[in-house]
Structure 1
Amino acid sequence: MNAADKGSTEQLFDRVMRRIAPVWPLDSFVAVNPYWGFADQLFSEAAAQLQGTVGERVIMDRRWYADRVQNGKLPLPDILQAAESLGLSTDEEEWRDYLWGTSEPSMRLPTLPELLDRRGHASISQYVVEQISRFLAAYYDRGQSLWQFPKDAGMGLFGAWRQYTLMDRSLSPLGLKAIRPLLLHLSPDGAAARHWAVRTLGIPKVAEEAYLLVLLKSVNGWASWCRYLLWQAEMQGESHADLADLLAIRMVWEALLHQTARPKALERWHQQLQGWILADKSADAEDALRGEALLQASEIAYRRVVAASIRRRPAGKKIATTRPLVQAAFCIDVRSEVYRRHLESAMPSLETIGFAGFFGVMLDYRRQGDYAPRTQTPVLLNPQVHVEEQGLEPIFQRRFRRLRRSAEWKHFKLSAASCFSFVETAGLSYVGRLLADTLGWHRPSQPPDEAGLTAAERASLQCALPASMSLDERVAMAEFILTGLGLNQGVAPIVLLVGHGSSTTNNPHRAGLDCGACAGQTGEVNAKAAASLLNDPQVRQVLVAKGWDLDERCCFLPALHDTTTDRVEILGGLNDPRLDAQTLAEFRAAQEQAANLTRLERMSRLEPDLRDSQAVTQNMIFRGRDWSQVRPEWALAGNAAFIAAPRWRTREMNLAGRAFLHDYDAVKDPGFAVLTLIMTAPLVVANWINLQYYGSTVDNQRQGCGNKVLHNVVGGTLGVLEGNGGDLRIGLSEQSLRDSNSGLQHEPLRLSAFIEAPREEMDKIIEGNEILRQLVGNRWLSIQQISPEGAIYHRKATGQWIAI
């Protein structure tokens, strides 16, 4: 292979690897757009490609839409409107025939191991995935295994797999021992192995990229993990070879089987490969486009409901501009929408604000005793500030002793010397613990920041910004926060910065219920850091001198919203002499009323028969403590809209917990810097969340993680397996999306963004940002403008604006 061909092949490998979306570990699990690598393609084109190669469904089956038409949830005129916008037929009878017709499955690209499988024998294709998965689980283990996998740092992932496979005795029972001498003579270098595999397989150029994608997708979970490692490295301007090495592993398996397969099997494989190449794929493309029309029709119907409810400015009147007594800034998370609505109704003199839950403080955070800091910033951005946990040394020492005792006890229970005799020796002493767990008497599993601490000790710890930051740097950060929150004027005497987290037990994906804007952590650290900064007397003095409308009595309080129980806890500052006791008491009463109303609303989806407020509260608390509960909350299921506008537009709207609410007032943003930030960061993060729920719903087998009851944690924090083997599972479980009583809880829709800003400015931002340009232009999300008069305009993918 000459240098030009080698370079071209390397570019091919890179394109295939970039199709894989990353997956974050369990301790920082965040929602990810599973189609991130296909954003450069039109939605329907990506759907047709994935269906026709991997067999992955990207659009719900047409019969699902037919049922919605039948029960009146999807009007046929909306389907015809969507069809016209996509250049399809608008014949009503033709669409009726299509909806109730029988769909022909796409011809999927076959791999060699699948054709080697024989009825009545162990599956070769399944074994290949299992063998790779077992190796990777041991290789990447983060402390779960008591016996560590020996690693040579200079060998790399592929070299380590080669050594592992040469010693793997499970090959012989499957009749694969003939691959061992071939592997022995293969270079341990991953790059050389990839090129050898390409030459050995001899796949026609026209199918080469598709075939390599199918190979990598066969271990999609582990490929997503390796893509995460590459993502993290590239965020720091570095690189990481493990994803390329994983591709080499999968390609080498294919090539080894190619060299040892019977001639008839190879002939059958070549015939099917040629058949796939020659097959007419226009029908798949048309079916995908028709499927997108049905999806778009559902979105049109939903957008119409939202657009009809958005408040218009009353004629001849102005919205009240009196200074509120309390302002509470919540994360834009859809769960906050429900609580905000009820809190405002309980205390009319209060104003809520929606802002991404990191509150503009892009930090990483290291607790005392931790080996490395963790990110508390949206994963699309790099932290800019390093924050250290601060507190009294005796507290840190007590926490360390408690956690060490717990770890030693766990190690003893699981060690080879005691695990067989432990149950017989200590079993009776665990009766009380098992009973308490079953009845929900214990508190939920402690989040990392609370583990080993009493409530009083936790409250005493601080998360202040580093002293090394200059006053000018602190003031600039404070101005950035206040501008983002829209607090240019009319700041209340009490301002709460309310992060959010959850309380659950026995839930490997608990971080997925926490704040995505804080990289899968609770918003506690960011709220404390931002409040500490905005209360800093020196910072406040400079801000007032620069013209910021900050009353000297104004006090910023950090708080945390538990989205499982809907309890809001103020995390400090209650002894501040500036606080007005009467206002605070009024807020606490409103807070309790809002919590009760929010629980009642959310319980209607969890336990519809419960109506009593006290019973609902007890049920919510029990859900968080119950080790067997698979649905402690619905999290972000149902999300479909993103609204960035002044709060008065939506203050009286019931959005049913389906909208990300970001406050934005273009009048307070003359240079549109805040608009740019909203559209390029929070909007993209919301799109990630939306498409993770979408992908997990339309094809849970490939983009979800299956049955939560069968999950087993692998590698400590790497992820989960469904059962005791197979590929690493990604995405959301079935229990997070549906239940046996009311069915599907998440309607798969692409995100519809409603933004009150000039159209020309939004066009500039879209065109100036490659990621946003691809997402909007290729129909992965839609943009709507709210005009100053309250009219709604939809932006077509081609850039034209049309009135809704």
Structure 2
Amino acid sequence: MSTVAAENAQQLLDRVIHRIAPVWPLDSFVAVNPYWGFADRSFSEVAAQLQGTVGERVIMDRRWYADLLQNGKLNMVDILQATEDLGLDVDEEGWREYLRESSELPMRLPRLPELMDLRGHASVSRYVVEQISHFLAAYYDRGQSLWSIPKDPKTGLFGTWRQYTLADRSLGPMGLRPVRSQLLALSSNGAAARQWALQTMGIPQPAEEAYLLVLLKSIGGWASWCRYLLWQAELQGCSDEDLLDLLTIRMVWEALLRQTAQSKVLERWHRQIQAWIVDDKSADMEDARRGEVLLRASEIAYRRQVATSIRRQPAKKKNSTAPLVQAAFCIDVRSEVFRRHLEGVMPTLDTIGFAGFFGVLLDYRRQGDYAPRTQTPVLLNPGVHVMEQGTKAIIERRFRRLRRGAEWKHFKLSAASCFSFVETAGLSYVGRLLADTMGWHRPSIPPDEAGLSAAERATLQCVLPESLTLQERVAMAEFILTGLGLNRGVAPIVLLAGHGSSNTNNPHRAGLDCGACAGQTGEVNAKAAAGLLNDPQVRKSLVDKGWDLDPRCCFLPALHDTTTDRVEILGGMDDPRLDAGLLAELRQALEKAANLTRLERMLRLEPDVRDPETVARNMAYRGRDWSQVRPEWALAGNAAFIAAPRWRTREMNLAGRAFLHDYDVGKDPDFAVLTLIMTAPLVVANWINMQYYGSIVDNQRQGCGNKVLHNVVGGTIGVLEGNGGDLRIGLSEQSLRDSNSGLQHEPLRLSAFVEAPIEAMDRIIDGNGALGQLVNNRWLTVIQIAPDGSLFERRAAGNWVKM
């Protein structure tokens, strides 16, 4: 292969692997936009491409929208408006005829193993995926398996797979014994194997890139895992070859099968590829554009609900005194419900919405851990390294308890004892089984609590590094206060409430915690921020610089449990500056708001349960019940992002569907906070929104199927559905729908309402590549809230259309 040809091939492979979105491991599970690798292209173009190559659906079937129209949840006026907005030339009768017709699936690229499958015989296409998946599960194992594949950096992923496959005895029963001799003759070098596979497959150039994408998507779950490894390496300015090696493995399999397949199968394969190349794809694109029109029409209907409720001017207050308490919550949609009720039961309190990392870009290392864990949005690099601080005795006790547990588990699972374990120790498990069944025990213990009693845990602290100078600490404090909008008046009590979720027997439990904190709870961030803002030296420096901080002001860290809606204050209550009466009033208000929030959320979980005490018991039980597949609805229903002063939405019932970020442009003269909001929290909200969207429109490829059938693989890597197949990504069916009321998440792209000058937003969008692609290619919509409350939708830079 010539140098130019090799460079072209490398560019081709790089384009393919960067189409894959990453997936984070279970212990730091975060929502990811599954179409992140396609954000450089328009929404409808990607919909047509994925449907016409992989067979992946990006837009709901037209019958879905036909049913909405028939049921009155969608109207023709909105469809015609969306038609005009997207430049289509379709009249009302044309739409009614289109919605009456059945969808015609476009021709997609066939993979060779699919054509080798014979009825009544073991599936070759399924075997290829299973074989690769079994190897990767052992290769990447994180402590679940008692035997793992040794890794040699020099050999790499592809070379190790080659060795594994040469020793694999399952090839014979599948009728693929000749594969072994061909593989034995193939170089273990990944680059050489890729070159051989490309030449052997002989895919025509017009279909080459699409075919390689189809191959990688056939093992898409594991491809997403390898993309995560590459993502992490790129954050550190490094690289990782595993995703490219995984594509190589899949290419080599295809090339090996090409040499063993019957001639009539190969002939059929070539015919279908040629037919795909010459197929007129304009009809597919037209169908995708029409699908986007229907999607936009449903988004117009939702935006109308939000727009009619946004306040045009502040409500008249009975008294205009400054708030006695300010409570900052994460922008998570679950916080919207709690904030609304908390403001209702305590009028002297103001709530604030801010990303759950509270502006502290940190990672956190417990004593004894080998590596820190990230507590910031995954789009950002942590700049502060926080350490756990505790007495040596407590740390040693935790280590001993966890080690005993690990040794017991190893004994229970080892080959020497697994058959005799039930007879030997079975009776001792009766109590545990009964407690599991009755929901008597506590939920699964979070990592920070494992091995510790509540009293021991209370003594541990999150300590900022001593290497931070006073000047750096003051700068961090100023950043937090500015982001929270507290640069003009601070209340005597400021509550910083992160959030987490308490539930058991759920592999994806980290995904119910704070997605802004890399799948962790906001506890560490709240403690670190409160400790910094309570630091006497920092406070004195802030006052000296002109900050309006009441000497009595106290910052209290707290944690909002989104399963039970209980808010726990995590420390600082012995501060002598605290007003005991005001603190008691706050704690009472938090309990009342929790009751009201539970009652509202229960309507979506069990509508027949209405008594407050019964609801509270039910919510607590859901988190402890080992068989509960739906401890909470998490972020299902999310559809809007609002960055504006709180008075715009105060007392407005957004039904837990909006990310609420407080923002006052009058306190942000250089638009630094606006830039942070639009380039970090807004993008994170898009990731969450598109994960739910993708899991709804095509759960087979972008969701993880039936939660009841999940089996954890590799310790913390992910889940399989059943005992094999590809690694599953996205959300389970149980997180999206129930048998009574159907879908709990409506598939809508995110609508971002931002109160800021148009010119400033245009500059930020055009100055940030990732955000610009999302907005300009219609993966999310930005809407300006003008000072008078009017709304303007951004169609292009400088082109804002009044809604």
Contact 2:314–2:647 under 8 Å retained in 1: no
Mean alpha-carbon deviation: is it higher for 764-773 or for 425-434? 425-434
Residues 88-127 of structure 1 mapped to structure 2, 5 A cutoff: 88-127=88-127
Please report how far the alpha carbon of residue 322 of structure 1 lies from its aligned counterpart in structure 2 after TM superposition.
2.8
Aligned residue for 1:509?
A: 508
Deviation string, structure 1 residues 355-408 (Cα, Å, up to 9, x no partner): 000000000110001111110010000000111101111111111111111111
Aligned residue for 2:539?
A: 540
Structure 2 alignment gaps of length 5 or more: none
1:600 aligns with 2:599: yes
Cα separation, partners in 2 of 1:562 and 1:314, compared to 1, 3 Å: closer
State the distance in 1 between where 2:734 and 2:765 align: 36
The alignment partner of 1:560 has SS state of strand
Deviation string, structure 1 residues 123-170 (Cα, Å, up to 9, x no partner): 000000000000000000000001122222210000000000000000
Please report how far the alpha carbon of residue 320 of structure 1 lies from its aligned counterpart in structure 2 after TM superposition.
6.9
One-letter amino acid of the structure 1 residue matched with residue 198 of structure 2: V
The alignment partner of 1:779 has SS state of coil
The count of corresponding residues between Structure 1 and Structure 2 is 803
State the distance in 2 between where 1:147 and 1:264 align: 42
Aligned residue for 2:161?
A: 161
Contact 2:441–2:624 under 8 Å retained in 1: yes
Aligned residue for 1:346?
A: 345
Aligned residue for 1:616?
A: 615
Aligned residue for 2:632?
A: 633
State the distance in 1 between where 2:678 and 2:371 align: 31
Contact 1:778–1:797 under 8 Å retained in 2: no
One-letter amino acid of the structure 2 residue matched with residue 277 of structure 1: I
Aligned residue for 2:139?
A: 139
The alignment partner of 1:256 has SS state of helix
The alignment partner of 1:173 has SS state of coil
State the distance in 2 between where 1:314 and 1:562 align: 31
Aligned residue for 2:384?
A: 385
Contact 2:694–2:703 under 8 Å retained in 1: yes
Contact 1:113–1:125 under 8 Å retained in 2: yes
State the distance in 2 between where 1:314 and 1:613 align: 33
The alignment partner of 1:553 has SS state of coil
Please report how far the alpha carbon of residue 589 of structure 1 lies from its aligned counterpart in structure 2 after TM superposition.
1.0
State the distance in 2 between where 1:490 and 1:5 align: 64
The alignment partner of 2:389 has SS state of coil
Aligned residue for 2:239?
A: 239
State the distance in 1 between where 2:69 and 2:150 align: 58
The alignment partner of 2:352 has SS state of strand
TM-score, reference length from structure 2: 0.99
Please report how far the alpha carbon of residue 319 of structure 1 lies from its aligned counterpart in structure 2 after TM superposition.
10
State the distance in 2 between where 1:97 and 1:653 align: 39
Aligned residue for 1:711?
A: 710
TM-score, reference length from structure 1: 0.99
Contact 1:493–1:551 under 8 Å retained in 2: yes
Please report how far the alpha carbon of residue 799 of structure 1 lies from its aligned counterpart in structure 2 after TM superposition.
4.6
State the distance in 2 between where 1:773 and 1:150 align: 43
Mean alpha-carbon deviation: is it higher for 755-764 or for 418-427? 418-427
State the distance in 1 between where 2:509 and 2:381 align: 23
State the distance in 2 between where 1:667 and 1:330 align: 21
Aligned residue for 2:192?
A: 192
One-letter amino acid of the structure 1 residue matched with residue 246 of structure 2: L
Residues 437-516 of structure 1 mapped to structure 2, 5 A cutoff: 437-516=436-515
State the distance in 2 between where 1:433 and 1:373 align: 33
Aligned residue for 1:408?
A: 407
One-letter amino acid of the structure 1 residue matched with residue 550 of structure 2: D
The alignment partner of 1:335 has SS state of helix
Aligned residue for 1:205?
A: 205
Aligned residue for 2:397?
A: 398
State the distance in 1 between where 2:500 and 2:140 align: 28
Cα separation, partners in 2 of 1:44 and 1:798, compared to 1, 3 Å: farther
Deviation string, structure 1 residues 76-108 (Cα, Å, up to 9, x no partner): 100000011111124111101111211111111
Aligned residue for 1:223?
A: 223
State the distance in 2 between where 1:472 and 1:307 align: 43
Residues 688-727 of structure 1 mapped to structure 2, 5 A cutoff: 688-727=687-726
Aligned residue for 1:258?
A: 258
Contact 2:759–2:798 under 8 Å retained in 1: no
Mean alpha-carbon deviation: is it higher for 597-606 or for 257-266? 257-266
Mean alpha-carbon deviation: is it higher for 631-640 or for 786-795? 786-795
Deviation string, structure 1 residues 611-649 (Cα, Å, up to 9, x no partner): 000000000000000000000000000000000000011
State the distance in 2 between where 1:456 and 1:430 align: 27
Aligned residue for 1:11?
A: 11
One-letter amino acid of the structure 2 residue matched with residue 268 of structure 1: R
One-letter amino acid of the structure 2 residue matched with residue 646 of structure 1: P
Please report how far the alpha carbon of residue 314 of structure 1 lies from its aligned counterpart in structure 2 after TM superposition.
5.3
One-letter amino acid of the structure 2 residue matched with residue 518 of structure 1: C
Aligned residue for 1:83?
A: 83
One-letter amino acid of the structure 2 residue matched with residue 559 of structure 1: A
Contact 2:762–2:797 under 8 Å retained in 1: no
The alignment partner of 1:583 has SS state of helix
Aligned residue for 1:795?
A: 794
Aligned residue for 1:758?
A: 757
Contact 1:26–1:719 under 8 Å retained in 2: yes
State the distance in 2 between where 1:324 and 1:460 align: 32
Please report how far the alpha carbon of residue 456 of structure 1 lies from its aligned counterpart in structure 2 after TM superposition.
1.3
State the distance in 2 between where 1:102 and 1:26 align: 39
State the distance in 2 between where 1:325 and 1:595 align: 20
Mean alpha-carbon deviation: is it higher for 255-264 or for 620-629? 255-264
State the distance in 1 between where 2:567 and 2:465 align: 27
1:578 aligns with 2:540: no
One-letter amino acid of the structure 1 residue matched with residue 529 of structure 2: A
Cα separation, partners in 2 of 1:319 and 1:98, compared to 1, 3 Å: farther
One-letter amino acid of the structure 1 residue matched with residue 93 of structure 2: E
Contact 1:779–1:797 under 8 Å retained in 2: no
The alignment partner of 1:106 has SS state of coil
- Aligned-residue sequence identity (percent) comes to 79
Please report how far the alpha carbon of residue 662 of structure 1 lies from its aligned counterpart in structure 2 after TM superposition.
0.2
The alignment partner of 2:748 has SS state of coil
One-letter amino acid of the structure 2 residue matched with residue 554 of structure 1: C
The alignment partner of 2:494 has SS state of strand
State the distance in 1 between where 2:798 and 2:123 align: 50
State the distance in 2 between where 1:99 and 1:738 align: 24
The alignment partner of 2:753 has SS state of strand
Please report how far the alpha carbon of residue 798 of structure 1 lies from its aligned counterpart in structure 2 after TM superposition.
6.0
Q: Tell me the C-alpha RMSD between the 2 structures.
A: 1.0
Contact 1:496–1:559 under 8 Å retained in 2: yes
Aligned residue for 1:283?
A: 283
One-letter amino acid of the structure 2 residue matched with residue 293 of structure 1: V
Residues 768-779 of structure 1 mapped to structure 2, 5 A cutoff: 768-779=767-778
Mean alpha-carbon deviation: is it higher for 344-353 or for 415-424? 415-424
State the distance in 1 between where 2:288 and 2:67 align: 19
Residues 325-344 of structure 1 mapped to structure 2, 5 A cutoff: 325-344=324-343
One-letter amino acid of the structure 2 residue matched with residue 579 of structure 1: L
Contact 1:464–1:533 under 8 Å retained in 2: no
Cα separation, partners in 2 of 1:220 and 1:181, compared to 1, 3 Å: same
The alignment partner of 2:461 has SS state of coil
One-letter amino acid of the structure 1 residue matched with residue 160 of structure 2: A
State the distance in 1 between where 2:483 and 2:455 align: 32
State the distance in 2 between where 1:786 and 1:460 align: 46
State the distance in 2 between where 1:84 and 1:310 align: 26
One-letter amino acid of the structure 1 residue matched with residue 71 of structure 2: N
Please report how far the alpha carbon of residue 730 of structure 1 lies from its aligned counterpart in structure 2 after TM superposition.
0.2
The alignment partner of 1:753 has SS state of strand
Residues 727-746 of structure 1 mapped to structure 2, 5 A cutoff: 727-746=726-745
The alignment partner of 2:462 has SS state of coil
State the distance in 1 between where 2:228 and 2:319 align: 48
The alignment partner of 1:752 has SS state of strand
Please report how far the alpha carbon of residue 318 of structure 1 lies from its aligned counterpart in structure 2 after TM superposition.
8.7
Please report how far the alpha carbon of residue 702 of structure 1 lies from its aligned counterpart in structure 2 after TM superposition.
0.1
